[in-house]
Amino acid sequence: MSQYTGRPEDPTRGRPADDTDEPDEFDDLDEDFDDEPRGFGATLLAGIKELVIVVVLAMALSFIVKTWLFQAFYIPSGSMENTLVRDDRVIVSKLTPGPFDLKRGDVVVFEDPGVPSPWLGGAGEVRSTVGGPFHDALVFVGLLPEDSENHLIKRVIGLPGDHVEADGDSGEIKVNGVEITEPYVKPGDAPSEGKKFDVVVPAGRVWVMGDHRSDSSDSRWHDDGTGATGSVPMDKIVGRALFVVWPIDHVTWLGVPERTFSEVPSPATPSTRPTGKATVNPAPGSKPSASTTKVAS
């Protein structure tokens, strides 16, 4: 019969804890504490590297947003008063037209159509040089509003196929035979402000007008009576202005006045549309100055 000798002897019994063969969970920490601290130069270099990475990522993201989603523009004149005033900054969505449809009443930014002559009277060739290359770099990536001044901002009154007309006096503008009331027109201005027109907007184009009718060189003043030269090609439209972001006291959403166009029917069929012939009757004196609301880009 085997004799019970008791519990096996613990090989570590009676030995200090430091003498055990098992690794201590704090050994690695101890080694870290023994390392020499980084010098000032190494710490500064690491900080600069992190800053550069953050700046590059921010600029890349800004460029992507500017190119495909949103872009900032500034207002250098008064042709959209009182909706927009000089030096306002607006954010423009490049998703309209595109995934989102353009609507009557939308405020849009578009490139100077250049027909029959530049709407900006040559101002599109002017670029600001303030800030030099650094300024241009920030503009390029979208961190500053662009300032090439070859863009304009107006309100869409007629969509492709719409019959837009006005008597040139104090009467309201008609769209597809329905007289519209425009609450956004600057107080004191007549809806057509001395300019008679009667056009059908061609396919792929829109009829635009400034809210400050007496100081806006818009579709009225560039049309030959057919709607083909005064209207703006859809592919020239950069996007829809969504809201004012600067100055702070002007921050507001640029919504579409639904009531204004709610009763306007769809365009008539081609067989019943009017010819679009119009009589050009400039107001006494000359047409408004070409200092249309330009949006730098």
- Residue tagged 């290359």 (tokens): 133
154: annotated active-site residue: yes
- Residue tagged 């009829």 (tokens): 207
Backbone torsions φ then ψ of 200, nearest 5 degrees? -110, 125
Beta strand segments in 168-204, E: 174-175, 178-179, 197-200
Beta-carbon count within 10 A of 116 CB: 11
Q: Which of 66, 77, 79, 297 is catalytic?
A: 79
Non-local CB neighbours of 219 within 8 Å, separated by 6+ positions? 154, 157, 207, 208, 209, 230, 231, 232
Helix (H) or strand (E) holding 61: helix 40-68
Q: Which of 94, 154, 186, 196 is catalytic?
A: 154
79: annotated active-site residue: yes
Hey, which residues are catalytic here?
79, 154
